[in-house]
Amino acid sequence: MFFVFNISKGILLILGLLISVAFYTLAERHVLASMQKRRGPNIVGFEGLLQPLADGLKLLTKENIIPANVDFFVFVLAPIITFVFSMLRWAVIPFCSDSFFISLELGLLFLMAVSSLGVYGIILGGWASNSKYAFLGALRSVAQMISYEISLSIVIATLVICVGSLDLFEYIKVQRHYSLILPMFPLFIIFAVSILAESNRAPFDLPEAEGELVAGYNVEYSGFSFALFFLGEYANMLLMSILLVLLFLGNFISGLLDDLFVILIQVLFVAYYFIWARATLPRYRYDQLMFLGWKIFLPIALTWFFFVGVLFYVFNVLPPANSTDLFYATGKNIIF
């Protein structure tokens, strides 16, 4: 019975995520159309509300063309790997106080580990396609994701020092009355920009640059295989939106209707930020992308990490998750 319950929770999670991704793509097309002074989807259903359903049916019924010179097994497996790992990351996201698919005390560590494995789907897809454009796009994606994952990991490590836990629910409890965005504002900026690069989104969409790589690592994919890559990318964007809210924005108590509404508004705002960046910012050159990640974000993140670590050590401050009081550290009663 317990096994069946977990299976049903997993199916509901995946269905809810697929529906969210579908309507997020519709919102993106409408927002981009509005910003660019043109008409968006408005034919299928009222104001185009059924357009995601039509797009999904088209991808499911479209012929899945497999080029002659590809490595067949790896070519088919790559989008499945990308999709599966993008779904796994959602397993540790707390939707309310008792709503986890998997409740882990090391939820953040699990999240980072699975995120790092997701790059294998992209590199395998680019390599198995036996195409120069796809392979170059895969190499760019791997280098880009590794470069910005380092900064993201250091930012998360700094937050772990402050909160004292890898459990995502602890960040909800700690931020009931204040947000970590205030003392950690430089890290918030680094995190907000890095999630664009981690998701291969504009202005860091160099792995898919149509002007030079004609769609990059997924150029040889069509039909359902392309849909899996597409779903994985947009699910990752929504995940990063929720993660930014959980780690930095706070100011809510999980489980209450009004506070869940606040969470939703914050997540929608961050999701809009992805669309706004795509509509307004020009694409970076590859050397600019690497310069930003290695010579600006990484030194700042490391400096803040050591500063916070030394501060906690010198003043003997215990993180709130290890303290009996969430508002005061127990060492010298210094307000956190």
State how far the Cα of 29 lies from the Cα of 316, in Å rounded to an integer: 51
What are φ and ψ of residue 335, in 5° steps? Answer: -65, 130
Residues 298 and 271 in one domain: yes
Residues 194 and 244 in one domain: yes
Residue 314, classified by CB atoms within 10 Å of its CB into exposed (0-12), middle (13-18) or buried (19+), is: exposed
CA torsion through residues 261, 267, 270, 275, sign: negative
Whether the pTM exceeds 0.85: the reply is yes
pLDDT of residue 259: 64
Residues 72 and 55 in one domain: no
Residues 85 and 23 in one domain: no
Q: pLDDT under 70 in the chain at which residues?
A: 1-6, 95-104, 177, 251-259, 317-336
State how far the Cα of 176 lies from the Cα of 183, in Å rounded to an integer: 15
Residues 41 and 73 in one domain: no
State how far the Cα of 213 lies from the Cα of 17, in Å rounded to an integer: 30
pLDDT of residue 5: 53
Residues 24 and 81 in one domain: no
The token pair at 293 is 């990640």
Residues 162 and 289 in one domain: yes
Closest CA to 122 of 235, 250, 221, 6: 221
Query: Is residue 38 one of the residues assigned to a domain?
Result: yes
Query: Is residue 39 one of the residues assigned to a domain?
Result: yes
- Which domain covers residue 118, as residue numbers? 66-322
Query: Is residue 327 one of the residues assigned to a domain?
Result: no
Residues 214 and 236 in one domain: yes
pLDDT of residue 317: 66
Residues 245/270, Cβ–Cβ less than 8 Å: yes
pLDDT of residue 325: 43
Query: Is residue 336 one of the residues assigned to a domain?
Result: no
Query: Is residue 273 one of the residues assigned to a domain?
Result: yes
Residues 182 and 292 in one domain: yes
pLDDT of residue 299: 95
Query: Is residue 332 one of the residues assigned to a domain?
Result: no
pLDDT of residue 153: 92
- HEC-encoded secondary structure of the chain: CHHHHHHHHHHHHHHHHHHHHHHHHHHHHHHHHHHCCCCCCCCCCHHHCCHHHHHHHHHHHCCCCCCCCCCHHHHHHHHHHHHHHHHHHHHHCCCECCECCCCCCCHHHHHHHHHHHCHHHHHHHHHHCCCHHHHHHHHHHHHHHHHHHHHHHHHHHHHHHHHCCCCHHHHHHHCCCCCCCCCCHHHHHHHHHHHHHHCCCCCCCHHHCHHHHCCHHHCCCCHHHHHHHHHHHHHHHHHHHHHHHHHHHCCCCCCCHHHHHHHHHHHHHHHHHHHHHHHHCCCCCHHHHHHHHHHHHHHHHHHHHHHHHHHHHHCCCCCHHHCCCCCECCCCCCEC
State how far the Cα of 57 lies from the Cα of 41, in Å rounded to an integer: 16
Residue pLDDT, tens place only, 140-190: 888 898 899 999 999 999 999 888 888 888 887 787 767 888 889 999 999
pLDDT of residue 318: 61
pLDDT of residue 220: 86
Residues 100 and 24 in one domain: no
Within its chain, how far is the Cα of 99 from the centroid?
Answer: 20
Residue where one domain finishes, among candidates 41, 61, 81 = 61
Residues 124 and 196 in one domain: yes
Residues 91/102, Cβ–Cβ less than 8 Å: yes
State how far the Cα of 96 lies from the Cα of 173, in Å rounded to an integer: 11
Residues 204/120, Cβ–Cβ less than 8 Å: no
Residues 42 and 70 in one domain: no
| Number of domains making up the chain | 2
